[in-house]
Amino acid sequence: ALRIVRQLMDLSNRDRTDWWYSLNLATSQEVLCLCGTVVEILRREDSLVEVPLPCRVYGDIHGQLLDLLEFFNAFSWPDKRRGDIFSMSYVFLGDFVDRGAYSVDVVTLLFSLKILYPRKVFLVRGNHEDRLMNANYGFHENCQRKFSAEGTELWERINDVFEFLPIAALIDNSILCIH
């Protein structure tokens, strides 16, 4: 998980044309391992997660990894090396996948962040974290394109993890966040 976050931190400072067509964050086996680890963390969370202030809220990433990296570079990374993870919580309000070209990579990054910082990073389920929805809007295709024969198995496993995502976040006991 840490290798994935650090790799993206390093890549985000380079010219995109050097890497954006050939990005390979993790093997299918590594993504399956991330799924197994993150689901154990998510099993312990309630369907409504309580998040302290201060926090940053991101929504509707839709596979747009490059945009997410721009936000992290502009406002700080959720990491201890080049960020503010010890003083800031992060909420990601669903729709991590579909439409954009980097859905698998977005999920890989978000699962890695959740594993590294389980009490500071919160992933909330959106309507695209659903098999029927993301089968029709590009996530399944993205998994197959990126991982060939193993793509469908990976898509199934990631969707299994989505079943355990909380459906809402309550920030500072006063701001309800639902996708």
Phi, psi (degrees; rounded to nearest 5) at 91: -120, 130
**Residues catalogued as catalytic:** 128
Cβ neighbours around 145 below 10 Å, total: 12
The residue ranges of DSSP E strands in the chain, in sequence order, are: 48-51, 55-58, 89-93, 121-124, 168-171, 175-177
Which residue, 168, 161, 176, is CA-closest to 46?
Answer: 168
Phi, psi (degrees; rounded to nearest 5) at 57: -120, 125
